[in-house]
Amino acid sequence: MTSGSELALNGGPKTKTTPFGTGKRFGTEELQQLREALEQNTLFYWSGRKVKQFCADFAQMYDVPHCVATSSGTASLHVAVAALGIGAGDEVITSPITDMGSLIGILFQGAIPVFADVDPHTYNMDPTSIEARITPRTRALMVVHLAGNLATWMPLWLLPRNII
Ligand SMILES: Cc1ncc(COP(=O)(O)O)c(C=O)c1O
């Protein structure tokens, strides 16, 4: 909205002039993938080829040596924390407003979640608070972009390099 213009609510011009999508989330391509998965006659990833192919394609797309498929966000965060070698007594700074899944992997590894304060306008972690919670035991920072609000990245780049 340009400064000084009237809100659409009050008769001003609409910001969005094109229609939203249909809301339909899956189409023929997804149905084809689903059919191929079911036609393998197994949902165990090791017996079929779909998940292995997905991991290979994903790793190639991002030019990385490994890709691990997981069944949930919780499991993926746990894999990430474990893969980084985070263990007993290590501290991971994260947000106090998040899903349980952000914490489960940290706790399962015997590490300690440390909560940074959040910005009252975005509910994302306040970089100043993050810095205040860094200790010699801090191993990682798990950033949560809450409800589509991008967390502030710029100051995070200034954090010490030994924090993941
Ligand atoms: C920030 C965050 N972390 C972790 C999770 C856990 O994901 P899942 O429910 O797929 O295990 C969620 C789920 O909403 C999430 O919003």
With the most atoms of ligand 1 within 8 angstroms of its CB, the residue from 99, 102, 149 to mutate is 99
DSSP H or E run through 108: helix 101-108
Residue 137, pLDDT > 70, answer: yes
Q: Is the pTM of this model over 0.75?
A: yes
pLDDT score, position 150: 86
Contact 140, 163 (CB under 8 A): yes
Nearest CA to ligand 1 atom 15: 99
Instruction: Express as a percent the part of the chain with pLDDT over 90.
Output: 72
Q: What are the residue ranges of CATH 3.40.640.10 in the chain?
A: 72-157
Q: Which CATH architecture has domain 72-157?
A: 3-Layer(aba) Sandwich (3.40)
Over residues 118-146, mean pLDDT: 91
**How many beta carbons lie within 10 A of that of residue 94, not counting itself?**
22
Q: Is 143 in the pocket of ligand 1 (CB under 6 A)?
A: no
Q: Is 70 in the pocket of ligand 1 (CB under 6 A)?
A: no
Q: Is 99 in the pocket of ligand 1 (CB under 6 A)?
A: yes
With the most atoms of ligand 1 within 8 angstroms of its CB, the residue from 74, 92, 125 to mutate is 74
Instruction: Express as a percent the part of the chain with pLDDT over 70.
Output: 90
pLDDT score, position 19: 87
Residue 158, pLDDT > 90, answer: no
- Structure tokens of 92? 């991971």
Residue 45, pLDDT > 80, answer: yes
